[in-house]
A = this chain, B = another copy of it.
């Protein structure tokens, strides 16, 4: 289901988290959909259940998923996702964007990327304001 890179410095449980979030962003996992059980996911990826458990817990804390005791874990609605998370992401976005501009990446390049991503993500695109 998800691709892990053991060589990456990023901990496995974070790779699992990122992979799941990516799936939500891309639409591979839809709101309300049930996630595989911790054990099922662990065995299918051949890693320790503790690692999956940790990823799920962290995702729940950030509001991306919610667990129902005895039922499993489910993808939350976008509104459930912690506004703190959005603010954190915006802060990161500012920092990264600032550094990219500093490094000489053209403002228009970033706008083009932004347009492309907005189309993909299904947002309506402003017809041609730029």
Nearest-Cβ distance from residue A26 to partner chain B, whole angstroms: 8
Docked-complex contact B102 and A121, CB < 8 angstroms? yes
Q: Which of B22, B97, B111 makes the CB contact (< 8 A) with A93? A: B97
Instruction: Tally chain A residues at the interface, Cβ within 8 Å.
Output: 54
CA–CA, A93 to B95, complex, Å? 10
Interface majority SS (helix, strand, loop, mixed), chain A:
helix
Check B25 against A99 for contact (C-beta < 8 Å).
yes
Q: Are B68 and A102 in contact (CB under 8 A)?
A: no
Contacts of A66 in B (CB 8 A): 7
List A residues at the B interface (Cβ < 8 Å): 6-7, 9, 11, 18, 21-22, 24-26, 61, 66-69, 71, 76, 78, 81, 85-86, 89-90, 92-108, 110-111, 113-115, 117-118, 121, 123, 125-126, 128-130
Identify 5 residue pairs between A and B in the complex whose beta-carbon atoms are under 8 Å apart, listed by A's number. Answer: A7-B66, A25-B102, A92-B92, A126-B130, A130-B130
